[in-house]
Amino acid sequence: MTGGTAALIVAAGRGARAGGGVPKQYRALAGRPVIAHTLAAFAAHPGVDRCLSVIHPDDAALFAAAAPGQDWVAGGATRAGSVRAGLAALAAEGAARVLIHDAARPLVSQALIARVLEALDHHAGAAPGLALSDALWRGAQGLVAGSVPRDDLWRAQTPQGFRLDAILAAHAGGDPKAADDVELARAAGLDVAIVTGDETNLKITLAEDFARAEQLMGARMDIRTGTGFDVHRFGPGNHVMLCGVAVPHGRGLQGHSDADVAMHAISDAIYGALAEGDIGQHFPPSDPQWKGAESHIFLSHATGLAAARGYAISNIDCTIICERPKVGPHAEAMRARLAAILGIGADRIGVKATTSERLGFTGREEGIAAMAAVTLVGR
Ligand code: MG
């Protein structure tokens, strides 16, 4: 990724104050782990080329379940040590700029990411802050002991953006007890611009923060559903492709591509949810380059289109309609294959089959039909 912008998601903390038995960044928020929301926000932003998470080595299994296929490096004993490990990995890849972000701020908006990136064009560092509106007191033994002028005070948020070489150098000689990366950057003499923060970009710290974050998330969640239906006829062959799995059969399915009728229905459901037509519109059958194509190309394209517009796949349900072959024994392999292509957990993918009671074209074993429904969640 030479020269690109990376998001470094800091997730190595133990987060015990939020309760729930696992570190807060892996607890469910509106149906998905907190860190999955955070990663999706950065993956969806066109100005971010790559996401890397820094995690506690004990959390490898939790991370793999929360963010299948996503990259991570092991963090250090302190927050600064963890950030340093992530920066070193990104420097080795040649990243030019980095956005350092708390995994526990899953509500970071696309507009806020854009503001930090924009300010980074003109400064070595940039970070969001919110001016204080409440009066500030100093307290002692439960009594107000004084007031603190708030005129120049800001509440610091993340993502904190930097030119990578500059923040790496700041970390190398910096105070390991620094509160955040801005403090280290300032100590190294870097200019850090303040961009307008976002009141909804809260950091989940306490158990009650989950309820508030869920409320905020629900208010801005954009949910879309799509459906897809496809049919392919039988012809000569010794297997059929269904959801990317070759199922042995006395006949094959005919089609311009590999005729994976189920994957076509799923791809069309995603295109449908986005109001982006269907497979035929994006991959015209008249174009010889798609002859015999493996259908994961279509599915990956549809999913990429969804991601580019800020949508994550929440779940998929696919029904395959045929008398034979028997789908049941292959259903788990099909779910695993789809999960790998889509980068989501297999627990979000349903694959089931039915016969049509020997009625109609599927009942006469002239071909296979498939239908699919998909839910996309955007914000
Ligand atoms: Mg088709």
- Check whether 214 has a pLDDT greater than 80: yes
Distance 230 CA to ligand 1 centre (A): 5
Distance 377 CA to ligand 1 centre (A): 25
CATH number of the structural domain spanning residue 259: 3.30.1330.50
Q: Are residues 191 and 288 in the same domain?
A: no
Span 95-112, mean pLDDT?
96
Q: Are residues 110 and 234 in the same domain?
A: no
Residue 1 has a pLDDT of 65
Q: Are residues 205 and 244 in the same domain?
A: no
Q: Are residues 308 and 360 in the same domain?
A: yes
Residue 30: half-sphere exposure toward Cβ, Cα within 13 Å: 24
Contact 125, 162 (CB under 8 A): yes
pLDDT > 90: what percent of the chain? Answer: 78
Q: Reduced to 3 states, what is the DSSP secondary structure of residue 87? A: helix
For residue 321, give every residue at least 6 positions away whose Cβ sits within 8 Å of its Cβ, in sequence order, or none.
353, 354, 355, 356, 362, 368, 369, 370, 371
Residue 303, domain extent: 223-378
Q: Are residues 233 and 370 in the same domain?
A: yes
Contact 85, 7 (CB under 8 A): no
Final residue before a domain boundary, out of 219, 242, 276 = 219
Final residue before a domain boundary, out of 191, 219, 247 = 219
Confidence band of 16 (pLDDT split at 50, 70, 90)? low
Distance 261 CA to ligand 1 centre (A): 5
Q: Are residues 116 and 238 in the same domain?
A: no
Question: What residue spans of 121-244 are helical by DSSP H?
Answer: 164-172, 181-187, 207-220
CATH number of the structural domain spanning residue 145: 3.90.550.10
- Check whether 222 has a pLDDT greater than 90: no
- Check whether 220 has a pLDDT greater than 80: no
Q: pTM to 2 decimals? A: 0.65
Distance 279 CA to ligand 1 centre (A): 8
Distance 256 CA to ligand 1 centre (A): 8
Task: Give me the number of domains the chain comprises.
Answer: 2
Q: Are residues 157 and 257 in the same domain?
A: no
Distance 231 CA to ligand 1 centre (A): 6
Q: Are residues 212 and 234 in the same domain?
A: no
